[in-house]
Amino acid sequence: GDGTFRKAPELWRTWSPQSGRLLHPIQLQLAMHALALTKCGGRCVYSTCSMNPLEDEAVIAALLHAAGGAAELVDVSEELPAL
C-alpha cells in the first residue's frame, strides 16, 4: 500500500487510486482471518502503515459489519498512551 512510499519512493510512478481499491479486499481478508483466530474475549489488533482510509477505516467498518455484533471497536488510547 501507500505506507511503503517512504521506503520505496519509486512506487509513486505506478500508484493510482485503483491500487487502494485493490488492497481493500486483501486487507479485509487478513483482518477477518485474524478475528476468526481470536479467542472469545480476546483482543484483535489491526494496524497498517498506510494513510489510505480504504486500507484502514473502511476495513474496520467492513470487519465490524461482517462480524454482526461478535466484535466491537475498543478505544485503548489510555492503555497505550505512546501510540
Helices (H), the chain: 17-37, 57-67
Examine the residue annotation and report whether 44 is marked as an active-site residue of this protein. Answer: no
Tell me the three cell numbers of residue 73.
471497536
Burial zone of 71 (CB within 10 Å; 0-12 exposed, 13-18 middle, 19+ buried): middle
Q: Which of 49, 70, 73, 76 is catalytic?
A: 49
| Residue 49 DSSP class | S
Q: Which residues are catalytic, by number?
A: 49
